[in-house]
Amino acid sequence: MRRRQRQHHLQSGFALIALLALLLAGALYFAVAAFGPQAIEAERARKTQEALAQARDALIGYALQYRDQQAAMDPPVVDAMYGHLPLPDMGESVNRNGALGLPCATEGCAKMNNSGTTSTGTYIGRFPWRTLGIEPLRDGYGECLWYVVSATHKSIENPGTLNWDTVGQLDIVVADGADSLKSVIASPHARPIAIIVAPGSPLPGQARTPSIEAPQCGGNYGPANYLDASVTASLRDYAGAVTTSSSYFDGSAATDTSTAALAISAQGNTYKDTNGKLWDGACPAGNSCAVVANDRALAVTPDQFFGTLRKDASFRTDINSLLERIVSCLRDEIAAGGGPTGNSKIADDAGGCFSGLAVVPVGYYTNYKNQMFVARSATTVNGATCSGALLFANQRSSTQSRVTPAEQSDPAQYLEEPNLTSFTTGTNTFAGDILFNTLNSGQVPQQDIVRCIPSTPSIVTTPSPLLPPDQQLANYDPGTRVLTLGKPGVTTNDGYSGATLFGCAWTPEANAQGNGFRAYFTFQFNKVGTTVGNTGFTFAAIDADSNSGLPCGASGSHLGYSGDNGVAPPIAFPKIGIEFDQSRNAGFSESSGNPGREDPCGTSGCGGSAGFNSHAAIVYWGHETANAVDGVTLPNNDDNVHGFPATGSETSSVPPPQNPNNLGAASPGIAFVDMRSKASQGGNSYLYHVRVEVTPSSPGDTLANVRVAVDSNVALTAPGTSLDGVTLATGNRVLLARQSARNEGGIYVWQGATTPMVRSGDADQPVELTNAVVRVSEGSYANRNWWQSNTIGVVDTDAQNWQLLPVAARKFTTQAWIEPDPGITPPPPLIQAMQDTTRPMAQRYPGYAPRLSDTAMLHDIIGASCGAGCPSGQTCGVDNRCHRPPLQSVRLGFTASQWTQDEQVAIQNFFATWLQ
């Protein structure tokens, strides 16, 4: 019995095993059906294409960041251009280039050539994933990707200029049933700048023996073990460094980069039949074939890269700044009696204004000058009469080629109609956008950018009609591009009244981009007689819509920035200035004799310790109207009085920004700067470099919305059931903007009709309330913003000053860097960073704090009634008046004055980048 039972159990076990076997067999059948050879190959192909696309995107990202990252190096590479690509990873035995210029001694890093000597050749190696900040990328067979970079686009030892016309030295070839592979590149301009290769499975003869150099990717660094170099003679022998020897470039001359191209097979499996014919993808029916290549590759083309780069705002700013600078130089040359003649491509300026690396942004002129043309005499640009025109040819059209020297000398390969005919015939009537812009703005890639070269110099002066021409206090020499403020002998010898001694200089045209600017200039007070003087000058940004002429302020301590001189229009608000004041005028007075400025004390005689009273400060415009609180009856006279207007002195309207007086604070708006005579400078002051950034922004909602805002007193202990006609619910936030006790003002939480309100938790600390903005959801002020303008030190003690913002108010952050010249050639990185106005200082030189800094709210300018409609760019406010934003159209300039001493300051190298 037991034996039968045991036998029964054994039979049952075999049956179970048989059943499992059947199930497994079925599962295997379905697995093979679902994941057969074709499905597996499709999945491998998908993984390969995904890895290649990720690698391409990483390369383009590197090229898009290359210029800015190199400029941030120590020392900076200021002329590095967008479009450079990293070298490949060529193994431990090869010297390292490093990730973005930093040492990198491990697998996945870009390397220099294996000999350490200069080479202008194309490079082949593994994909430098570590340099690009990503993980290793593998194809569908688990192999890490390889990479070929054109000699014309590599980041090290690049042999020439780099722009969208630079031709790559790579070629893509495919099989089409012939004895050799066929190129798919129709034009030299379509040649790739880089090719990423997925090597696939090893072919006969490829030994992928592991090496200690590649612990993560595995295998070794022998290109012939991965890349299929033996299909035909067209696929040249790969080496770690492919030189310009003609044996690597399909027999073409090595010096002719227009035809020299290293061929890469990119289509996957390539078959060779018994007749030596090459076939792509599959062997023809009835033939016997062998797989001779299985690489899959993805190319990065110039048009692909620059189509992406064009979307980058920094790149567009660079191009537009380049054109702005060259126009500025050309108009000065022409005003000085020189400049180019006739119509031709641009030529280097012998004076150095835009020769070589002299023009900011550094590097762009040398790389893009081939796209620039100059036309002279009887020129019309977009309907305006000009002394010349600068034409920037933009990218190529489909019918243009810019490869050979003959093509690069032919305007037809650059300019479009009707500009081409007008340029070549001398008709000189041109039209086009003045800004290089994105394609989605309506600008096509080949559209010419056309700039008028005005007949006036880049700086025009506001003369004092009370002085003879040879005694003016503002003089600009376009030949030397030097602006001189002040005049020796005017007070000491000629005896002119102090009230006549003012002078201003301005950019002739207003800039209407309205998004701020970055400016740079140098200045030095010159010794005149025995001193450098006692007054100073101001660098000013003024609202062009409010100042249609050539304004200028009064003399003496007004510095030409404030006051009314009685003959020239005064400088109307809104305006922002950086004053450079040589002396101290304390105790504000409105008298026309010698009013004070509330200047800081820096000498021992008044209790200071700096050793001098000269200072720099950010200034706005003081009071707009007469004011009893401050005792101001002549508001024009206090525009650069530090600390004015006093807090709360103009409560009936949104107040003007307060001129900073926070000397010694963490972000000062005023600081001592030694501008006195120096024996080491021959009695002159130090030469100073100045960088100014003015950046506007929307007021924003710095605090969470309130439901209502109340402009009358509310009992905090029993606020009632409704405020401003809105029935409240527990937890509603309310703004009390006009409490009788101003220290009670602020944002509260309503908790019941007879329950005391408490301050909201996000608005009960000084840092939360200073310069805060809050938006109202309902009631009389629905969808309006209120701004708290007072500096709060202690909540519940200090008065809060909530002001209803006009519809177009904007914040402006003003920063200035002021640095004495170190007398070093080339200048140190911080000076180079100051000169590069196309990038913010925070990016160009992180950690280099501004000498002056202040953020202020500038309210909009209120115009006529909305009844007839508001002009373009203006908005109708709740007051039924038209409002326009402040400083949406800007002119830059310098204002100066003298009083009882002669003075002269030389200002040079002035240039501004306007932000789009």
**In the prediction, which pLDDT does 592 show?**
61
Residue 21 neighbours by CB under 8 Å, 6+ apart: none
Mean pLDDT of 114-134: 75
Residue 115 neighbours by CB under 8 Å, 6+ apart: 241
Based on its alpha-carbon atoms, the radius of gyration of the chain, rounded to whole angstroms, reads 36
Cβ-contact 476, 504 below 8 angstroms:
no
pLDDT tens across 585-600, in order?
Answer: 888 888 765 678 889 9
User: Is the pLDDT score of 113 beyond 90?
Assistant: no
User: Is the pLDDT score of 716 beyond 60?
Assistant: yes
Residue 533 neighbours by CB under 8 Å, 6+ apart: 486, 525, 582, 898, 901, 902, 903, 904
User: Is the pLDDT score of 743 beyond 80?
Assistant: yes
Enter the tokens of residue 614: 């000269």
**In the prediction, which pLDDT does 120 show?**
62
CA 181 to CA 175: how far, in whole Å? 5
pTM of the complete model:
0.84
pLDDT band at 248; cut points 50, 70, 90 = very low
**In the prediction, which pLDDT does 328 show?**
94
Residue 376 neighbours by CB under 8 Å, 6+ apart: 339, 340, 341, 342, 343, 387, 388, 428
**In the prediction, which pLDDT does 96 show?**
39
Question: Which amino acid is present at 841?
Answer: M
User: Is the pLDDT score of 892 beyond 70?
Assistant: yes
pLDDT band at 14; cut points 50, 70, 90 = very low
pLDDT tens across 46-68, in order?
Answer: 999 999 999 999 999 999 998 88
**In the prediction, which pLDDT does 150 show?**
87
Q: Pick from 274-288, 664-678, 716-730, 857-871 the range whose average pLDDT is largest.
A: 716-730
Distances (CA, A) of 17 to 4, 5, 26, 31, 779: 20, 18, 14, 20, 81
Mean pLDDT of 237-247: 34
**What mean pLDDT value characterizes the chain?**
84
Q: In what order do the strands lie in the sheet with 170-174?
A: 182-183, 170-174, 262-265
Cβ neighbour number for residue 802 with a 10 Å cutoff: 24
Residue 628 neighbours by CB under 8 Å, 6+ apart: none
Cβ-contact 464, 553 below 8 angstroms:
no
pLDDT tens across 841-882, in order?
Answer: 998 888 899 999 998 888 888 888 988 888 887 888 777 888
Cβ-contact 706, 735 below 8 angstroms:
yes
User: Is the pLDDT score of 261 beyond 70?
Assistant: no
Before 418, cis peptide (omega within 30)? yes
Mean pLDDT of 814-824: 95
Percent of the chain whose predicted confidence (pLDDT) is above 90? 47
pLDDT tens across 291-335, in order?
Answer: 888 999 999 998 888 888 988 888 999 999 999 999 999 999 999
User: Is the pLDDT score of 246 beyond 70?
Assistant: no
Q: Which of 249, 235, 224 is nearest to 180 (CA)?
A: 235
